[in-house]
């Protein structure tokens, strides 16, 4: 394999393993189409009110087709989808929500907004998603929901999680923000739990810049989500009409999206199958080339599942490797070889406090000082110690990350794999 030879490490002045250009040909935002779509809205004077008609209605119908649920409700961001989902399934004061620590903080912070308590669970080392065994250990009489994050497009073990939830009368909220288009044994993510939440922010596989979309089959949950944040969609909405007596009023959050964002997301949704096809191929090329590299462990998809969305590609340095060489040194050596590889960012969110279960917000910070709805006086007694999550703490300290490549050449990917092979073959020189 090119670039995998025994040459001197680039970090020590040797030749780079990666000589090919990484410039992909994929246009992340289909500019011409997006300009047409947004220009069309401007021409019609549509700059506000997304009450389920027009572009919003078209997008929601297309998203319903993708996920196969009865309802899809667009929002202004993914955080709003999670707050809506937790509110809808009855997360409130006195309740607990089981969450993974290895995720973006917005999977968890809306639990606080409901006055409830997040309870952190460990992850599976191979897939990086929440571990059903730890879920089972942590269910209590207070547990109201489980937040399942399909992290980096890898689908959680829904065959274990759904029966557990059903046996205890607990709701399942799927945070599919990294997993647009992923399938669990043929079923689209977002259609398996009670509610599916998809961020459509930034570089997500379907993005409106800032927006989100929620999926559910349950008319009452749909109604509750409308009640929370969709003033004006009210009893005219398509749900169970549970709150007809409230007329058009909502509870005071405003989670409607901007129609321009939804127009943008609609352009990207059309290209999702193609995007996922490219990413699946490229991750497979990298993983196939890395599987026999000593010191590197690949993050494999769950059997019978199809990854989607991805957001980023992940690899693990082995425990034996990071015990010898700090992961920062490996990162530095890979970058010197020309491989666009970084330490995983969720392992140290905001680069200050490490993993989320150790973040001040969930440990040392006294939420009573902010008051409002952010703590439950019957359940919150002040700062707590961080729980121990052995797998999360072990695995996250050795995760490496690269782009979720779309339209790049195989030769480029093989050179990146060659950089891993070269660096792993010269570990002694990095100690
Ligand atoms: C897993 C996960 N959940 C929730 C969110 C929150 O989405 P947003 O930034 O659109 O509010 C994100 C955003 O990156 C995410 O990655």
Q: Are 314 and 344 in contact (CB under 8 A)?
A: yes
Q: Is 79 in the pocket of ligand 1 (CB under 6 A)?
A: yes
Q: Is 106 in the pocket of ligand 1 (CB under 6 A)?
A: yes
Which residue, judged by its Cα, is nearest atom 7 of ligand 1? Answer: 78
Higher pLDDT, 371 or 172: 172
pTM above 0.85, yes or no: yes
The catalytic residues are: 204
- Do domains 10-27+272-344+397-430 and 31-271 share one topology? The answer is no
Measured distance between the N- and C-terminal CA atoms of the chain, rounded to whole angstroms? 25
**Rounded Cα–Cα distance for residues 156 and 142 (Å):** 23
**Strand ranges for 200-319 from DSSP E:** 212-216, 296-298, 305-306, 312-317
What is the CA(225)–ligand 1 centre distance, in A? 18
User: Sorting pLDDT into bands at 50, 70 and 90, what band is 349?
Assistant: low
User: Sorting pLDDT into bands at 50, 70 and 90, what band is 28?
Assistant: confident
What's the pLDDT tens digit per position in 292-347?
A: 999 999 999 999 999 999 999 999 999 999 999 999 999 999 999 999 999 999 88
**Rounded Cα–Cα distance for residues 314 and 420 (Å):** 13
Tokens of 199: 């961020």
Tokens of 6: 């025994």
Q: Which CATH architecture has domain 10-27+272-344+397-430?
A: Alpha-Beta Complex (3.90)
Domain-by-domain residue ranges, the chain?
A: 10-27+272-344+397-430, 31-271
What is the CA(79)–ligand 1 centre distance, in A? 6
Res 350 pLDDT > 60: no
* Three-class SS state of 410: helix
**Rounded Cα–Cα distance for residues 140 and 111 (Å):** 16
Q: Is 178 in the pocket of ligand 1 (CB under 6 A)?
A: yes
Closest ligand 1 atom, CA of 201?
10
The pair phi, psi for residue 327, each rounded to 5°, is: -60, -30
What's the pLDDT tens digit per position in 72-102?
A: 999 999 999 999 999 999 999 999 999 999 9
Q: What share of the chain is helix, strand, coil (3-state, %, to 5)?
A: 40, 15, 45
What is the CA(303)–ligand 1 centre distance, in A? 26
31-271 CATH: 3.40.640.10
What is the CA(425)–ligand 1 centre distance, in A? 37
**Rounded Cα–Cα distance for residues 387 and 98 (Å):** 13
């Amino acid at each position: 394999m090119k670039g995998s030879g025994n040459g001197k490490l680039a970090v020590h002045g040797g030749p780079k393993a990666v000589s090919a250009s990484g410039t992909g040909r994929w246009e992340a935002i289909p500019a011409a189409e997006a300009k047409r779509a947004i220009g069309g809205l401007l021409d019609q004077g549509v700059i506000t009110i997304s009450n389920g008609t027009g572009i919003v209605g078209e997008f929601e119908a297309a998203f319903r087709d993708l996920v196969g649920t009865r309802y899809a409700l667009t929002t202004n961001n993914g955080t709003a989808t999670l707050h809506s989902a937790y509110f809808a399934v009855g997360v409130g004061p006195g309740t607990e929500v089981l969450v993974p620590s290895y995720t973006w903080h917005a999977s968890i912070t809306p639990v606080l907004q409901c006055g409830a308590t997040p309870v952190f669970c460990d992850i599976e080392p191979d897939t990086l998603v929440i571990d059903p065994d730890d879920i089972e250990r942590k269910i209590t009489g207070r547990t109201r929901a489980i937040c399942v994050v399909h992290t980096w497009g890898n689908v959680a073990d829904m065959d274990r999680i759904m029966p557990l939830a059903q046996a205890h009368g607990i709701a399942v909220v799927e945070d599919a923000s990294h997993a647009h288009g992923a399938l669990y044994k043929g079923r689209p993510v977002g259609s398996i739990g009670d509610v599916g939440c998809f961020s459509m922010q930034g570089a997500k596989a379907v993005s409106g810049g800032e927006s989100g979309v929620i999926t559910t089959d349950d008319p009452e949950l749909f109604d509750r989500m409308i009640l929370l944040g969709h003033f004006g969609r009210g009893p005219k909405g398509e749900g169970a009409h549970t709150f007809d007596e409230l007329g058009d009023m909502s509870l005071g959050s405003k989670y409607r999206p901007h129609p321009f964002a939804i127009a943008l997301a609609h352009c990207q949704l059309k290209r999702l199958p193609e995007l996922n096809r490219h990413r699946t191929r490229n991750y497979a090329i990298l993983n196939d080339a890395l599987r026999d590299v000593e010191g590197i462990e690949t993050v494999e998809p769950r059997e019978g599942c199809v990854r989607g969305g991805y957001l980023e590609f992940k690899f693990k340095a082995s425990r034996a490797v990071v015990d010898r060489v700090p992961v920062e040194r490996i990162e530095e050596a890979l970058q010197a070889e020309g491989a666009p590889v970084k330490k995983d960012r969720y392992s140290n969110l905001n680069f200050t406090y490490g993993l989320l279960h150790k973040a001040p917000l969930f440990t040392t910070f006294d939420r009573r000082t902010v008051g409002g709805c952010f703590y439950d006086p019957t359940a919150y007694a002040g700062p707590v110690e961080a729980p121990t999550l052995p797998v999360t703490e072990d695995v996250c300290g050795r995760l490496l990350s690269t782009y979720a490549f779309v339209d790049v050449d195989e030769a480029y990917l093989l050179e990146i794999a060659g950089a891993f092979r070269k660096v792993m073959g010269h570990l002694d020189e990095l100690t």
